[in-house]
Structure 1
């Protein structure tokens, strides 16, 4: 049952030569820069403050799961036949568990986009929950860092970095999904 609940994360297991850049390289590099830019006086991050980016973006993040679910429903019911053709080379693949054994599946545009938007729905919900956690406990952790606690400064910077990685990963994957929906989906294969 837990395996089924975590299935939206299987998008991260899709193999394609360029996909790791969208999933990890760009988000981590941008998150590192954002984390460095958000470090304030004394090595603290102020993004969790009431006027910081986390609280300002939380309302926007809260509405995203509905839009991703709508995109997922549109993809699942899209009536064009060639959306079910296997993607051209290099074809993205994923290992799926079928009847107790791992099977390597070449992805169609429909399956790729469905996996992508299921992942984005999951990640946006996780980002909302992480934002609430960050806003709730970020200032408490920061209080300890004001007393010179190196561990709490590292924890705040780590939480800031993770927040930005999730945010940048979601943005990169969203733009990639929009590219596929807006342009690649309408190209003949």
Structure 2
């Protein structure tokens, strides 16, 4: 169980609470853009899943597969960069500080869940760890896609999942760039 928790921890970014607009960026916008993308595909002349995979997804994933190196470099820079602003707490929505629930063992050796409040460094580290993991998963799903072609329902689910993941990756990357380029320098 502990191994699964460690391997899935980069996706913990999706469960950070108290950041204004985070649900919109993590879930609602990717769903909306996925629906629009699927609608455009259904109304175009791309009739089969193999054509979608060959002409659209493979081209995008070719680019996405180069991103983990850049995300890891950004993660290393955030961890190593000496700036007092990075170690300050985040401002949250509605006066609540952003937090993530973490497992803890109390003095009676009982497993409990506690809130860990976030610093800017923790938030950005978590974001770039998530982006690295998601880009790796997208690349691997794309490499496994030939296994799905013979099953139309599985291929349809694959197309929806891959477009949702792609849009989520793009939106969170843009939010990360905004935060690093502009928001990080504002007290």
What is the DSSP-based 3-state SS (H/G/I as helix, E as strand, rest coil) of the residue aligned with 1:94? strand
Give the aligned partner of residue 117 of structure 2.
Answer: 106
Q: Which moved more, 1:79-88 or 1:119-128?
A: 79-88
**Could you tell me whether the CA contact under 8 Å between 2:68 and 2:136 is conserved in 1?**
yes
Does residue 117 in structure 1 map to residue 128 in structure 2? yes
Instruction: State the distance in 2 between where 1:70 and 1:57 align.
Output: 21
Q: Unaligned regions of 5+ residues in structure 2, if any?
A: 106-110
Q: What residue ranges of structure 1 are gaps of 5+ in the alignment?
A: 142-151
Match of 2:159 in 1: 160
- The CA deviation string for residues 107-147 of structure 1, in whole angstroms up to 9 with x for no partner, is 1110000000000000000000011122x235434xxxxxx
Deviation, structure 1 residue 5: 1.0
1:48 partnered with 2:53: yes
How far residue 155 of structure 1 moved from its aligned partner, in angstroms, is 3.2
Q: For 2:154 and 2:179, how far apart are their aligned partners in 1?
A: 37
**Partner SS for 1:79:** coil
Q: Please list, as runs of the form range in 1=range in 2, the aligned pairs for 1:107-146 lying within 5 A after superposition.
A: 107-134=118-145, 136-141=146-151
Flag the 1:85–1:162 CA change in 2: closer, same or farther, 3 A.
same
1:36-55 superposed Cα distances (whole Å, 9 cap, x missing partner): 21125696443112xx1122
Evaluate the alpha carbon distance shift between residue 63 and residue 43 of structure 1 in structure 2; reply closer, same or farther with a 3 A threshold. Answer: closer
TM-superposed CA distance for 1:62, in Å, is: 1.4
Shift of 1:166: 0.3
Root mean square deviation, CA, Å: 1.8
Whether 1:93 aligns to 2:99 is yes
Matches of 1:58 and 1:162 in 2, distance apart? 13
